[in-house]
Structure 1
Amino acid sequence: MTDDKRHTGMPDRDRINLEEDYEVRYWTQALGVTAEQLREAVQAVGPSAEAVRRRLGS
């Protein structure tokens, strides 16, 4: 997702941006994990949502 809210368009739903609180809230709820678990998974495998899902076993 873009950081500049004026630039709308197709959001990048394949990447997890830990710098945006609303994305952290979304992904923790969607994956059923804590923010710390999400951060550890992203640090281990990168921001790819698919890689994070595999890492977390979701």
Structure 2
Amino acid sequence: MADDKSKRDFRDRDRVSADEDYEVEYFAQKVGLTPEQVRDLIRKHGNARETLEREAKALGRR
């Protein structure tokens, strides 16, 4: 059966889950960090994707 396109939920697309390896690995690859660096950023700054991207960019400049 096809998905009901009228039922849309707003999952945590603006968040990165440290518990989900695939999310951490995808984000790490996207921003050029290791998965462990991403988990450290999540511990320090929370899991908001926008904040993590900003902090990853700052980390890359150091």
TM range (shorter): 0.7 to 0.9
SS at match of 1:13: coil
**Post-superposition offset of 1:11:** 3.8
**Identity fraction in percent:** 37
Scaled by the length of structure 2, what TM-score is found? 0.68
Gaps of 5+ in 1: 1-7
Aligned length: 51
User: Which residue of structure 1 aligns with residue 5 of structure 2?
Assistant: none
In the alignment, structure 2 segments of 5+ residues that lack a partner are 1-7
Q: Which has the larger radius of gyration?
A: 2
What's the counterpart of residue 43 of structure 1? 43
CA distance in 1, matches of 2:34, 2:16: 14
The Cα shift of 1:10 comes to: 4.3
Provide TM-score, normalisation by structure 1: 0.72
Q: Considering fraction of residues, name the structure with more helix.
A: 2
Moved >4 Å (runs of 4+): none
